[in-house]
């Protein structure tokens, strides 16, 4: 009797298992899927770029000379007027001294001599005039000959001419005369040439490179220092040209330097290159960083997320559930009443993991996670929400009606 009871129980268990298997087989295979929801969506373009200064100044030497002193190195902050390097300038210093000596001689010797010559000529003229007047009186009294009187008059004329010449010379040497102006110009020119041997910064910024050491020969046209100007800093990003359609000036971005991954900083698209690099198929985009974090360095590698679109509430589908077909269209597997249906949908904004569906899908519907699943139209399937446990006792399945 016991044996018969065991046989009945075993038969019931076998029948139950067979029935359960048949029901499961009628319901179709269990496939991962998603319930369509409406949620916020941000479309971003992700790329990698480098930190760059808005502009750089290249500093060279306008004269040829040997470097005798270098006062800065890479990374130093400089301001306009700061000395970067000094060149040997013996010949230019000698030229300055020579020009100054010529000016000093004009001011301290030539000019006083001319003034003294004028006073002397004026004294001689006064004396010659008195003598000529005296002799004319004597001639009228017939005490001297006409020849003696005429000699005195001639001497007066000569003295007067000498005064006029001395006056012209003195006037040509007064302060500010052309000769002095030319001498001062020669001094200024010599000093300007000498000043060129002191290489100074013309802009405020950070020294990026140095190509000058004591003993080097500096020549015009050779770059000695490169300075990144202080001010706005940019991140230069080469983006795939296929992103041009969604890019625009003023779009915000979030940047993360590889060296400081926990310190993100904001930026804004300020420039989109008008041309495409034919070798790489990329377009250069510049993002202005303001304020500039103190840890940024020239040439740093930066990961950039440019926000190109945003929806506060959108019907979205995971990207792995979509198969793009033509432009803004895609296909997916929709599950209705336990059967798989191929459906074409219209796409909108595209995020990193999800894409907006603007037509062909509603919130609350279920779609399969694998858009390339080996199914045919109308196949029975069971949807298991992704992220749920695989254990049939705990996983969440879409309720279905069996035909």
Report how far residue 155's alpha carbon sits from residue 161's, in angstroms, rounded to the nearest whole number: 10
What pLDDT score was predicted for residue 260?
Answer: 92
Nearest partner of 379 among 361, 400, 395, 359, judged by Cα: 400
DSSP secondary structure letters along 19-41:
HHHHHHHHH--EEEEEE-EEEEE
What pLDDT score was predicted for residue 176?
Answer: 59
What pLDDT score was predicted for residue 121?
Answer: 75
What pLDDT score was predicted for residue 190?
Answer: 82
pLDDT along the chain (403 residues), means of 10: 55 49 54 84 88 82 89 88 88 80 70 73 80 81 80 82 76 65 79 86 86 89 85 85 89 92 92 90 90 85 90 84 76 82 84 81 83 76 63 40 36
Q: How many CB atoms lie within 10 A of CB 84?
A: 22
Report how far residue 38's alpha carbon sits from residue 105's, in angstroms, rounded to the nearest whole number: 93
What pLDDT score was predicted for residue 6?
Answer: 56
What pLDDT score was predicted for residue 13?
Answer: 53
């Amino acid at each position: 009797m016991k044996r018969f009871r065991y046989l009945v129980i075993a038969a019931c268990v076998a029948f139950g298992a067979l029935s359960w298997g048949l029901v499961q087989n009628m319901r179709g295979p269990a496939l991962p899927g998603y319930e369509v929801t409406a949620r916020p969506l941000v479309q971003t373009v992700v790329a990698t770029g480098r930190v760059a200064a808005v502009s750089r100044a290249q500093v060279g030497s306008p004269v040829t000379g040997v470097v005798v002193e270098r006062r800065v190195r890479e990374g130093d902050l400089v301001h306009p007027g700061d000395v970067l390097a000094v060149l040997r300038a013996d010949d230019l210093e000698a030229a300055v001294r020579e020009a100054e000596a010529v000016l000093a001689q004009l001011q301290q010797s030539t000019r006083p001599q001319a003034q003294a010559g004028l006073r002397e000529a004026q004294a001689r003229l006064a004396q010659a005039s008195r003598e000529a007047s005296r002799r004319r009186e004597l001639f009228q009294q017939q005490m001297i000959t006409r020849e003696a009187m005429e000699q005195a008059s001639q001497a007066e004329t000569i003295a007067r001419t000498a005064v006029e010449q001395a006056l012209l010379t003195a006037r040509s040497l007064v302060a500010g005369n052309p000769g002095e102006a030319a001498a001062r110009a020669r001094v200024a020119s010599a000093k300007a040439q000498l000043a060129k041997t002191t290489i100074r910064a013309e802009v405020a910024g950070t020294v990026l490179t140095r190509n000058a050491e004591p003993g080097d020969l500096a020549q015009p046209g050779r770059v000695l220092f490169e300075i990144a100007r202080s001010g706005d800093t940019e991140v230069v990003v080469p983006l795939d040209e296929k992103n041009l359609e969604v890019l625009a000036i003023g779009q915000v971005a979030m940047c993360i330097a590889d060296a400081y991954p926990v310190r993100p900083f904001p930026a804004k698209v300020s420039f989109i290159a008008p041309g495409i690099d034919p070798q790489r198929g990329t377009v250069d985009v510049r993002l202005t960083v303001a304020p500039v974090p103190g840890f940024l360095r020239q040439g740093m590698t930066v990961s950039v997320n440019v926000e190109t679109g945003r929806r506060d509430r959108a019907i979205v589908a995971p990207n792995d559930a979509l198969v793009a077909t033509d432009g803004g269209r895609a296909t997916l597997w929709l599950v209705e009443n336990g059967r798989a249906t191929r459906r074409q949908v219209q796409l909108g904004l595209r995020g990193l993991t999800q894409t907006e569906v603007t037509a062909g899908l509603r919130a609350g519907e279920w779609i399969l996670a694998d858009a390339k699943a080996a199914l045919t139209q109308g196949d029975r399937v069971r949807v298991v929400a992704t992220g749920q446990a695989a254990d049939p006792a705990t996983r969440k399945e879409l309720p279905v009606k069996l035909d």
